[in-house]
């Protein structure tokens, strides 16, 4: 097996912790083993962040509304998420991989890619991968699956097929025969809407999808069409990006004219939090510490920070930012600069809504992110960040998006906001 693999120059390993949040809960409370467990918001309007395999047998899956999940599985045990524990175990496993791997990428709190290219000259890639997996299980107590192939796409898909707690290697040349019988829903980045559209076109398997001309997919799906065609044909040349742990992100604004306009200051603060929140989510990261800085006209600078539950949600971040601002701000002094910093950042791409928000709030935030990704970070923002700056005498043209009653966004005509 490894002799065949050694004839090829590339070997990529994908490690994926099985039902990570649930697995951590089972490790901490063995009484939950074998029972249907849901991690997420406790309210019936909450969202399922993770679920045990016992719950999945009832049709429950992550990102499902908690109310629907409980209808399918009324006896499920609902637990609130514990990001402190998840971060601890994620860091532990990262350190184990870092000790062993020549090159690795941490793509989320519970997923890793390793570039093992050339390793077959010394030790078989599959054998080495099995030994690494055994070490992770032994030292963390958590189940983990892996997939091994010539690229990241096939390795990720094979790890998915190896679950729970399994291993799968796709030999070079066998990529298409492996993925073609699978449902198109197995392709990473194929979301609900794309799946519906392809199904309406009569496309259900990857084999059928692979035979559709690229130009047709581009006509139907735009730029995404090329990516869909490449994935259906097992093509993925993306590199394993070396892991770096970004510790903090920040932004600040210095005013041309010092101000005591509280409404304007809070508006600017809101815009800053939105910008950093979007950046955080774009990186698939969470923060556990927020800080606000104020510099007064006499150049004295003060800051306060607060430890918070891990989040990437604007609403939660803004609540703490305003709380810190109120503690810092002296109303009789002119302000020269305000700033916001997020630190204690960890990987995590599930937590747009964390464990307490409703499906409506999650969908709203995702819709805003989609608009920002397509039209730019300033394309849409909360109304509270669009208050006219009274310290400026220049009229500004601001393009906004108005949230309609049916939950969609429509672009308004540009409106002039004049200084009051």
C-beta separation of 349 from 312 below 8 A: no
CA 7, CA 97: separation in Å to the nearest integer? 25
C-beta separation of 126 from 1 below 8 A: yes
Of the candidates 54, 105, 111, 175, the residue annotated as catalytic is 111
Query: Token pair of 391, please?
Result: 């310290």
Q: At what angle do helices 359-375 and 262-282 cross, to 10 degrees?
A: 90
Known active-site residue 111: yes
DSSP per position, 48-110: EEEE-HHHHTTT--TTSBHHHHHHH-TTPEEE---HHHHHHHHHHHHHHHHHH-SSEEEEETT
| SS3 call for 245 | coil
Query: Token pair of 29, please?
Result: 């409370």
Paired residues of 280 in beta bridges: none
Residues with Cβ within 8 Å of 390's Cβ and at least 6 positions away in sequence, in order, are 259, 261, 263, 264, 419, 420
Distances (CA, A) of 334 to 219, 261, 389, 419: 55, 9, 15, 19
The catalytic residue positions are: 111
């Amino acid at each position: 097996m490894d002799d065949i693999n050694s004839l090829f120059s590339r070997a990529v390993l994908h490690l994926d912790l099985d039902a990570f949040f649930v697995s951590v809960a089972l490790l901490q409370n063995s009484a939950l083993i074998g029972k249907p467990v849901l991690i997420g918001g406790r309210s019936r309007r909450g969202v399922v962040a993770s679920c045990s395999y016992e719950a999945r047998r009832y049709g429950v899956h992550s990102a499902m509304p908690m109310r629907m999940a409980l209808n399918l599985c009324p006896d499920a045990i609902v637990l609130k998420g514990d990001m402190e524990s998840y971060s601890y175990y994620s860091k532990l496993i990262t350190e184990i991989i870092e000790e062993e791997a020549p090159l690795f990428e941490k793509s989320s709190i519970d997923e890793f890619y390793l570039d093992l290219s050339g390793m077959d000259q010394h030790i078989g890639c599959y054998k080495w991968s099995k030994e690494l997996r055994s070490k992770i299980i032994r030292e963390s107590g958590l189940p983990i699956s892996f997939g091994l192939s010539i690229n990241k796409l096939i390795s990720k898909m094979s790890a998915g097929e190896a679950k729970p707690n399994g291993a799968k290697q796709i030999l070079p040349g066998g990529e298409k025969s492996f993925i073609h019988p699978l449902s198109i829903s197995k392709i990473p980045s194929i979301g609900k809407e794309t799946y519906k559209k392809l199904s309406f076109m009569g496309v259900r398997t990857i084999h059928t999808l692979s035979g559709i001309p690229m130009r047709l997919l581009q006509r139907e799906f735009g730029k995404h069409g090329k990516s869909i065609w490449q994935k259906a044909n097992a093509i993925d040349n993306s590199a394993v990006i070396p892991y770096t742990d970004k510790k903090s992100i920040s932004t600040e604004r210095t005013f041309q004219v010092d101000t005591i306009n509280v409404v304007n200051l809070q508006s600017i603060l809101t815009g800053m939090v939105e910008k950093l929140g979007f950046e955080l989510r774009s990186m698939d990261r969470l923060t556990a510490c927020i800080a606000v800085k104020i510099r007064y006209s006499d150049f004295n600078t003060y800051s306060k920070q607060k430890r918070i539950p891990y989040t990437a949600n604007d609403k939660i971040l803004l609540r703490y930012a305003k709380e810190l601002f109120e503690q810092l701000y002296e109303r009789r002094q002119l302000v020269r600069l305000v700033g916001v910093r997020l630190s204690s950042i960890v990987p995590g791409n599930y937590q747009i809504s964390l464990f307490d928000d409703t499906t409506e709030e999650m969908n709203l935030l995702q819709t805003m992110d989609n608009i920002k990704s397509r039209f730019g970070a300033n394309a849409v923002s909360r109304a509270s960040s669009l208050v006219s700056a009274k310290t400026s005498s220049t009229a500004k043209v601001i393009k906004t998006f108005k949230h309609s009653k049916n939950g969609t966004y429509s672009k308004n005509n540009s409106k002039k906001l004049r200084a009051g």
